[in-house]
Amino acid sequence: MENMDYVVMLRESLEKKADILRVLQIRNQEQAAILQDPNTTPDDLEKNMNMKSELIDRIIMLDEGFQQLFGRVKTIIEADRETYADEIRMMQELIKKVTDLTADVEASEYRNKEYAKTRFANIKKEVREIKKSNDVVTSYYKNMMAHNKADDPSFLDKKK
C-alpha cells in the first residue's frame, strides 16, 4: 500500500469519528427528552443508552486504529510534509471539528446527568410518599381491627 493511502485512511477515520459524534449528539438530545418526559419508561432510557454505548465503542475502535496507523506513518509524513500538505490540512480541520463535537457531546452528557439526578430524585420522593401512604393505611387497618376486636365481646349472648 502506498503511503498516501495510509494518510487518506487517517483522514477517513477522522471523518467517520465526526459522523459518529454527530449521531451521538442526536442520541443525547433524545436522552434529554426521555429524562425530561415523566411519561417515558425505563426501557426507553435503556434502549437509548445501549445505542449510545455502541456508538462510543465504535469511537474507541476508530481511535485505537487511528493511533496505530498514525504511529506507522508519522515519520513518513513529517519527512515529506509538502507531499501530504492537503491531507494534513484536511486532517487538522477534521481534528478541530472532532474536538468541537466532542466538547458538545461532553456538555450534553453533563446536562443529561443532571436531568437524570433530578428525575431519579423525584422517583425516589414518590416512592417514599407511596411507602408513607402504605404505612398510614396499614396503621389505620391495624387500629380498626384492634378496635373491632374490643367490641366483639359485647355482642356475645350473656343469657346462659
Within 8 A by CB and 6+ apart from 51, the residues are 27
Grid cell listed for 121: 430524585
pLDDT in tens, 73-121: 999 888 888 999 999 999 999 999 999 999 999 999 999 999 999 988 8
CB atoms within 10 A of CB 22: 13
Taking the C-alpha atoms of residue 59 and residue 118, their distance in angstroms, rounded to an integer, is 29
| Mean pLDDT score across all residues of the chain | 89
Instruction: Please say whether the beta carbons of 56 and 133 come within 8 A.
Output: no
Instruction: Look at the block and give the residue holding cell 459522523.
Output: 19
DSSP assignment letter at 39: T
Within 8 A by CB and 6+ apart from 31, the residues are 45, 48, 49, 52, 112
Question: Rounded to a whole number, what is the distance in angstroms from the first to the last CA of the chain?
Answer: 112
Instruction: Please say whether the beta carbons of 7 and 94 come within 8 A.
Output: no
Q: Name the CA dihedral angle for 133, 139, 140, 142, rounded to a multiple of 10 degrees.
A: 140
Q: Note the pTM of the prediction, 2 decimals.
A: 0.76
pLDDT in tens, 145-156: 776 665 555 555
Question: What pLDDT does residue 158 have?
Answer: 60
